[in-house]
Chains A and B, each alone.
Chain A
Amino acid sequence: MSGHAIPDTLLDVQALDKRFGGLHVTRNVSFQLRAGDRLALIGPNGAGKTTLVNQISGVLEPSAGQIWLRGADVTRTSQAQRVRAGLARTFQITTLAPHFAVQRQIELALFEREGLTGRLWRSIDGYPALQAEAQDILARFGLQAHAATATQDLAYGEQRLIEMALALALRPKVLLLDEPMAGVPKGDGARLLAALDALPGDLAVLIIEHDMDLVFRFANRIVVLAEGAVLADGSPDEIRRDPRVRAAYLGA
């Protein structure tokens, strides 16, 4: 198969297909992500964008096709195995431990990254390096004033920031962002946008977004999904000029 032979291809999705009974939600989708890619996945509601991301991250099993992550076939592996292979994702609906203090939630991600959650004896307060890194991450996202606040008590925009902070804390090679700005009022999104801008240069990022300003500002590639199939795949300029895309999605 093509794609995964090229050394810097981090994610290779090949002929991915998914059916739910009679519903054909993913139709023969293929694309690759290389280091430094900023790929925006756009399309009308119901096009199957989140379903596609769920298959890539391991929440759903595809009916057919393959997923290659950094040269290894991960199609039948669990979510946890893909995370250890360098994949991380955020959720469209904020998915946090509601009663955990913010710093603890971040620390948990770090413990997991370092493979320490199998340790039963030393207290979580006994890992000063990880605690310092957690506080550092909080500071980078401007959340240091909420270290001991329960995640469910934070403003929605700040919860979205934690979503992203958790994914980045795992130091992934491939990052899947499912509508990171979803539900965040226009004015509150500054920190999120700043975080997006500051993502590591060698990270491969796939972002699902509806905000076209953000898409054209952030992405260096766009894949348009309609009714589960890839309608177009190219640079922002190519997509902007593509008549099929304009007809199906962008409007006039």
Chain B
Amino acid sequence: MDALVRDLRFALRGLSRTPGFTAAAVVALALGIGATTAIFSVVHAVLLRSLGWGDESRLVSVYRTFAGIGSGKGGLSVPELYDLPEAKSLESLGAFNRGTGALQSAERAERVPVARVTSGFFTSLAVRPQIGRAFGPEEDLKGSDGVALISAATFRRRFGGDPAVIGRSVVVDGQSRQIIGVLPEGFSYAGTYEFFVPYGFTETQRLGDRGAHYLEVMARLRPGIPLAAANEEIEQLSMRIAEMHPDNYPPEMKSVLHVEPLRERFVASSRQPILVLFGAVLLVLLIACGNVANLLLARSAVREREFAVRSALGAERSRIVRQLLTEGLLLSALGAFLGVLLATWGLDVLLAVAPRQIRQVGEVRIDRAVLAFSAGLTIATTLVFALVPALRASRVDLASSLKDGGRGSGGAPGARLRRALVIAQVALCLFLLVGAGLLIRSFAQILRVSPGFDPEGAIAADLIPAGSAYADPDARERYFEETLRVASQLPGVTAAGEIFLLPTRGKWGQTIEIEGYERAPGEPLPTDEFRSVLPGYFAAMGQRVVAGRDFSAADDAKAPLVVLVNEAWARRYFPGALGDTNRRSAAHHVPDTVVGRRIKVDTDRHRDAFWTIVGVVSDAREYGLDQPVPPVFYWSSPQEPQAQMTLVARGRVTAAALREVLSRVDPAQPLDRVLPLEDVLSTSLAARRFPLQLLGVFAALALVLSAVGIYGVTAYAVAQRTREIGVRMAVGASAGRVVRMVLASALGTVGIGLAIGAAAALAGGRLIASQLYGVSARDPLTFAGIAALLGLVALVASGIPALRAARIDPMAALRTE
């Protein structure tokens, strides 16, 4: 203990006497450890931390696939939720849907996050309200569903934390609901919600509505039931259900239910970007460690005589290694302390730009686990950057080091090690920069993709009429038509329309039959994206009608049923009519023979009805700029009304003016999301932009650290060679020759690092291949550009000491010992 205290005291004193070295090392480590800690806190929250709902190994998500039509994981219908209790492997199950609701107060309506859940939701998650009670099974059904649970935050913020809130009523979406419980502090599921309300299933929904698969279902397995066994039972159950209801589950669609760990629901899409970022910060940390190791090597060279003296006085090797490791640990600890501070501050910034998937699992914070990680990281980094210099320092040649005039160990082995470290730094930096460069090029490629509509000069307003006044679809439709009418009359508006499901906002499919389309043997009925629009929408979006006609006011509920399709739809089902093209389509060949054909769609309002295609519109990137355009058909909204629409108004109009005029239609309806169409498009790119921005920051950090490393090694080499350079200049070497000599040595080292880094980047490109768009993981332009950039940085970093070398005074240098 006494020795440890003394080691620490000496280490502190030594570091304080070399403030430049200490500051450089601590800042490098703080940046590395801080960035790694911040990203680990995300990794921990999203991928590692317990979900906090009891035994996580028993919590599963239940989802449906239609393998026959290649559909991914989807939700369940209400009758399927009521079929599932037959499965013996499930102890409990519940359903959840995120959403919003209009919270009505005396003064105004406010849109608030509202989750719709079944009573089994809380049972499955083993969550009990801190006050009051949870929902009972009877409250899942219409008529008994006038109840609500509130979050702990809402309890405090809206009700002042008064337990008398139990029994009070709130009006959400026009329905009065009695508050029956307050959820525990910190409870969240796929985001935070102010109110949790029952679905209020009707008898029709519960028994017959097998076509609407919108429930997110989770379950708790019975103790001891393995996931595979549960999966097998659920799959068999779903096949039995399909046999009992062949109309709903045509065999060719291969409808099957599956279970998987519940965590997958939250992390599946974000796991790879997070791990890529984690890998990137570890590279930054390694580069920082390389820098500190280089600094320590240079420092230990200067201190070689000190180690020799200690050794001569009887210090064993292990004692010297311990002393140096103590210094390293102290540096790491200082770096970690600053790093955790940086991480704490940086995390707020990080989460502000993070996409929803990263925030929905739970609170991302610096907690004990993260601090433990940082402590482990500190020890690991110490071992990485301090061990080699410590071992080297403990092996000094005592006799020569103790001689008067004995110089530090700037000898060949030390120089080789320092060069090796710079090579490693440059290689790691190139690897990281190439990754960032490829993602940046991908993003640039995506930004070059035309969305198929004109986002400039248009504003989108979400309309979600709620309340008993809008329980009737026709009432909602009247609201939509009225909002469109007032928006169209707003001064400055040149075009306006409404749509259900704006491009980039999601997917919504419907199975259809197409008249005249011959399906291949075994090919299931197509399921295509559908939208509902009000006239003027395509003009407001800047989409063209390339064949036939647009919707008009005449296409009302009483008129013949009509649809429009997009070009992708026409190309998908009628490519044979290519000879008969429509001249208005500049980009694509669209058969005008599509116009006049009919599709058969089964909806609640129109059972097995035929809809006539009256026009073809240009494609819009429905799933986002980086996704192919799906086949889409458009209903005229009055003929197939939806529960919500988005109004698009083009022209010289502000969001505030639009909000003002829309709110006049019904002041009770909140209008919280009125924003430029450009923002809608931008939001759709958030999931790509987030890792890109972070990777860019890490790459810049790596570049700076590498530049510092190259500079440090070159400057040290020049200092070591001062006498040699003086001799060279004394015998006639020009300043230019000295500069070339120093640069050649430094850039040779960098060149080797670039070659190794390029080889590693070529091999490791597959790690991010799935996140690239329109650019190969081996893109030569990116590789060459990044190598040139690093070469330039290396030239500047080594050029400064090279120029300093050229200004050496030969006489002064020759006097230098």
A binds B: no
